[in-house]
Amino acid sequence: MIGFPTSFLWGAATSAYQIEGSPLADGAGASIWHRFSREPGRVVGGATGDSACDHYRRYREDIALMAWLGINAYRFSVAWARVVPDGNGTLNPKGLGFYDRLVDALLAQGIEPMLTLYHWDLPAALEDRGGWLNPDSAKWFGDYAQVLFQALDDRVRLWLTLNEPWVSAVLGYLTGTHAPGRRGLREAALAAHHLLLAHAEAVTAYRAVGRHRIGIALNLEPQYAASAQAEDVEAAARRHIYVNRWFLDPILLGRYPAEIPQLFGADWPRRALQRAGLIRAPIDFLGVNYYSRALVVDDPSGRPARGRLVKRRDAQLTAMGWEIFPQGLTEMLLWIRREYGELPVYITENGAACNDPLPERGRVLDPGRARFLGRHLIAAQEALGRGVDLRGYFAWSLLDNFEWAYGYSKRFGLIHVDFATQRRTPKMSARFYRNLICRGGANL
Ligand code: NCW
């Protein structure tokens, strides 16, 4: 098997609301997650991101841990409402100052920053104006993106517009399990469209002022039929359009899959979308967040793709209940190249939530997570060998953190966090990753 190129980025990823804490410090505005997590019943145990990993105050300690780990890249996100408290309008220099210092501290350790502009924490003031349902949202995002390009493009060379817009649209506007907690198919379609326009707005703005590269991180998940029956095969094909192509096609081809309006039926907001215009802004690279595959059976009541997910009895699952399926990563990367052509790709997230034991004498034994990383890196290497232009890998996540609606009940970190004391303990998987990076990925 061919090795990883010497230029390969070995990284770890996080997001602002999940790790920073101090959400209102230094003049920041509230975000939709600040609000949502305060609504009874939304988050397991009533948890919020008020403290999270206290990274806002401990980022230097966390960068020291990154240096120990040996990563040469770090993916983080900017909290929009720290930089522009009302979402659109006056800049908050103190909020921007945090990211300015963070970037400098990373570079001082030789760690390449990859900056995500939006990882689900919309300023609450913008939610009050309709959030992603407002056609102006694309413009708001473009303005905010400009501020960061101007402030940080001299040092940040890898930009991502949105993290998993499918999740923002579906969990935020259809199932209601994420902020802002709405439940409507039409709303989800509209929010998705505005997210795509926002992405395009930022990319277009970047072409005018940016000197480096910009992309987007999508949650991609291969869809397999649970049986050979034609109904299930067709359900998997529909769900593939819904989960993967709904966003990939507009971003890479400039149009929705022809089947999408049919899937949404009467809830497809045809007129509103015609008014909103087209999405067309070529990206420099694609970020792939890969966790699992889906097994699909036909189910006419499943909206909008008329499918339902099932598990194989013998499947190995992570603590999220997601099947461990490394070969799906190779297949997904090969499919992207076949379908959309040559394109630089980063695995912007991959990792596992596990029921880790508590730290004991400074150690956390999480062999399952180490195995998960190793098997997925082998799958990534396989794709490299078959010609995929894979440039880097970011483990999700650097630290145990606020896992959205699951609160602190799910741990994805390479580094254990005791949320009562904020003590960090690198897990066995962190040592495994560290050794692997040290060898440049050899002898996986
Ligand atoms: S929940 C989720 N995640 C985790 C989160 O911590 C991170 O911020 C995200 O980028 C780990 O990686 C992503 N993704 C949502 C997947 C939802 C799948 C459920 C679909 C049901 C319809």
Q: What pLDDT digit, counting tens, does each position of 217-270 carry?
A: 999 999 999 999 999 999 999 999 999 999 999 999 999 999 999 999 999 999
In whole angstroms, give the CA distance from residue 273 to residue 256: 11
- Please state the atom number of ligand 1 nearest to the C-alpha of residue 353: 11
Return the best residue to mutate from 15, 323, 396, 399 for the ligand 1 pocket (most ligand atoms within 8 A of CB).
Answer: 396
Q: From start to end of 334-431, where are the E strands?
A: 345-350, 390-396, 415-418, 423-426
- Residues taking part in catalysis: 164, 349
In whole angstroms, give the CA distance from residue 171 to residue 169: 6
Name the nearest CA neighbour of 18 among 116, 150, 157, 130. 116
- Measured over the CA atoms of residue 211, residue 212, residue 217 and residue 223, the dihedral's sign is positive
- Please state the atom number of ligand 1 nearest to the C-alpha of residue 406: 1
Residue 175 Cα to ligand 1 midpoint, Å, equals: 13
Q: Is 2 helix (H, G, I), strand (E, B) or coil?
A: coil
Q: Which helix (H) or strand (E) element contains residue 409?
A: none
Sheet holding 294-298, edge to edge: 223-225, 294-298, 307-310
Percent of the chain with pLDDT over 90: 97
Q: Tell me which residue has its CA closest to atom 8 in ligand 1.
A: 15
In whole angstroms, give the CA distance from residue 122 to residue 271: 26
Return the best residue to mutate from 17, 178, 219, 399 for the ligand 1 pocket (most ligand atoms within 8 A of CB).
Answer: 219
Q: What pLDDT digit, counting tens, does each position of 388-443 carry?
A: 999 999 999 999 999 999 999 999 999 999 999 999 999 999 999 999 999 999 98
Residue 1 Cα to ligand 1 midpoint, Å, equals: 31
- Please state the atom number of ligand 1 nearest to the C-alpha of residue 351: 11
Task: Tell me the pLDDT of the chain (444 aa) as tens digits.
Answer: 789 999 999 999 999 999 999 999 999 999 999 999 999 999 999 999 999 999 999 999 999 999 999 999 999 999 999 999 999 999 999 999 999 999 999 999 999 999 999 999 999 999 999 999 999 999 999 999 999 999 999 999 999 999 999 999 999 999 999 999 999 999 999 999 999 999 999 999 999 999 999 999 999 999 999 999 999 999 999 999 999 999 999 999 999 999 999 999 999 999 888 777 677 789 999 999 999 999 999 999 999 999 999 999 999 999 999 999 999 999 999 999 999 999 999 999 999 999 999 999 999 999 999 999 999 999 999 999 999 999 999 999 999 999 999 999 999 999 999 999 999 999 999 999 999 999 999 989
User: CB neighbours of 209 closer than 8 A, spacing ≥ 6?
Assistant: 146, 149, 150, 153
Q: Is 15 in the pocket of ligand 1 (CB under 6 A)?
A: yes
Residue 155 Cα to ligand 1 midpoint, Å, equals: 29
